[in-house]
Structure 1
Amino acid sequence: MTTTGEDRAAARNGPWWWTRWRSAVLDGGLALVSAVECALEGIPFARDAGIPVAAGVVFGLLAGAVLVVRRRWPIAVVLVSIAITPAQMGFLMGVVGLYTLAASELPRRIIAALAGMSLVGMLIVTLVRVRQDMAHGDVTVGDWFLPFASITMALGMTAPPVLLGLYVGARRRLMESLRERADSLERELHLLAERAEERAEWARGEERTRIAREMHDVVAHRVSLMVVHAAALQAVARKDPEKAVRNAALVGDMGRQALTELREMLGVLRSADGAAGRRRVEVPVSLVAVGEAAAEAASRVAEASAEGPDGPCLAELEELVGQSAAAGMVVDLSVEGEVRSYAPEVEATAYRVVQEALTNVHKHAAGAKTYVRLAHRVSEIAMQVENEPPPEVGSASSARLPSGGNGLVGMKERVAALGGVFVSGPTDAGGFRVSAVIPAS
């Protein structure tokens, strides 16, 4: 886990402008050493200048102590070191000040200007000092030594701290950039994980809706026919035993079909839940893996459903209509165009639309004549289920079939998911019509 900018800001526990006590102690120690150095160098300066030694010592102490503010005001420290260079004081201050200045976030032109001023000042002071020594006879070498010593001394006191400071500053900025990039990446990973969880929740919701539609189609149609046959069986049990036996056999067949379809769907759900559970156990701690695992675990239900048994197809449409006809409904099936195969989801949706429409006729218009039309077109398949008004007003409730009001909603969702058009509503003759057009691909 990386340290964010907020965490670093909260970690500031040093006094005044220092972020840490360790930095304050370091600067205090450097300032103490610099003050002692300048105080000692202030003694010969006071003698040469003809002022009291105590004044030179106090001046050196005050000048050297300026190094304590090097992190806060590096420019001031460098300017003070340049100012006391003629007095041959503050060499430690000059080196540390130049390093701090070069490592700071100040513009490069300011750093170059102050480093140049320090170089020129050191060059001049060294040149004058060496010339005085040569004049006094302390140094007996050739004339080449004067510029060589001056340039070497000036470069030695300014170039190393400036170059080191530039390197440390560049490295610090690089680390800050990498740290910010890591923070940004961590935020993006958190966002991806949240989005993956949202997609997983959406996928679970979509799968719950799909399963609810399948369960509604299976239970509503099969059970509705079973109730209708049971009502007919009750009516003809004593008058026509043979017909009662046939109705009882139909009820048994429909019940077995409903149980088979329900068992298949429950098997798919169990396998999907088991796969998702195993995947949750194997989820690693990594944020990237969390996002991927969330999305994958959420989609396993849909994948397992897609890998399950094939859904209904249009070839079973005649059997579906025959079951309704066996329940006493007068159904007229007509097919137009060249019969061909479609994608499994297209055929399943077309079948479910006709199935649900027939179920609604059983529920709300029992005994009404129904027309089922199926048209195979070039790039689409169209279906229409239309029923006439029921012969008796009370027939709709004769079988006491409940309705949850989800049939039309489910049909519309199925068709819309494939890019089709769904229309339903009453007819002028008092019946009801359900129409749907689904793209062939």
Structure 2
Amino acid sequence: MHLYGTQSVNNLGHLTIGGVDTVDLTHMYGTPLLVYDIALFKERATAFKETFAKAGIKAQVAYASKAFSSIAIYEVAKEMGLSLDVVSGGELYTAAAADFPREKIHFHGNNKSYTELQFAFDEKIGCIVVDNFLEIEMLKEISESRKEKMNVLLRVTPGVEASTHDYITTGQEDSKFGFDLKNGQADDAVLKLYNHPYITVLGMHCHIGSQIFETDAFRFAAEALMEKMIEWREKFKFICPVLNLGGGFGIRYTEEDKPLHPSAYVEEMEDVVLSMTRKHNYPMPEIWIEPGRSLVGDAGTTLYTTGSSKEVPGVRTYVAVDGGMSDNIRPALYEAKYTAATANRMLDPHADIVTIAGKCCESGDKLIEDAYIAEPAEGDIIAVFCTGAYTYSMASNYNRLPKPAIVFCENGQHQLVVRRETYEDIIRLDIPLQRTEQEISS
């Protein structure tokens, strides 16, 4: 089995994360439990930043926090000198609660509301990534009525189709996101904004998809945006000081995945931009990127307790755990693959092939098919690896299941950063029917 970051096995045969025994964590916090290896998050953040620094390129590395949002992870991102990518008023509110530096917050989204845009002005954030023409008109109205300035990037679709799942491909022309780079929409957008008295266009943004392993797609996207920036200089006498090339860098979920080191993606982008700026005598833009999954994905591990099991002779053996699609929808949503281990018996042979099933009332609630674990027994702790991205942020209360607790581990220490939901939390927003005395008596 492949262990990640600071994961190890102690003399009790237990999985440890950040020097902390995961079995002890389950005794203290219960299961399901999402555990983050914070040292691995920091290592990845440092790798992205250092690659730009070594090349002498001015850059911002923004944590794409839709992967996992909480006050605590925003505080770690702030500590590491990262910027922050938010996509809703809720994420911006969380960032404000974490006292994240407002000038380093970038607000994304394809359908920001007027209220959300006002909130961004209230907080005086660093940049809004504009996605459509309605948003342009709302930004004009808000900035002019307030007489307040705002920096923006224009999100464009460069026509690059990355090799990834259809649900997480976003850079192709047929996308709900951004202005098309080839049909004139991007040109129209920049003309509407770049001479505005309160709105400063910093440049362009693209995001071509998620869980991408090859670098060609990133090179093509960088070339497409640089060509358009050079064209805008000629047509409009406008030079973009910022080029945001998004994220989407892949991680290893299973042994079949072959991710590159974070520096490899950055170096390819750097190469394209440096080459084209030199060739066309174009001022070197500040490069922004937005890693999310590649910072938190394999830093997260979910711990479950096994319960019932069922053998279907000649077909499969089901082993049920106390979570499932309510805390990790990805396998059911787009057939995401994971690996697992028996955290309380790591030294036992992991030779039994089982299907790890969740407890939700859905036949499709299967976390892993063909998982190799130690011979299962009731009460075992199952660790599902690489669950740090798009699990808690996409979790639900389906079947009225409470969301799990979250713990950060580092240097032998652990800290609860999100408490487990209670049944009281589940009904907190419910309002009973208001009945008259006559209705009650009848």
TM-score by length of 1: 0.20
Larger relative contact order (Cα-Cα within 8 Å, sequence gap ≥ 6): 2
The alignment's TM-score, normalised by the length of structure 2, stands at 0.20
Name the structure where strand makes up a greater proportion of residues: 2
Q: Which one has a bigger Cα radius of gyration?
A: 1
The structure whose residues are more often helix, as a share, is 1
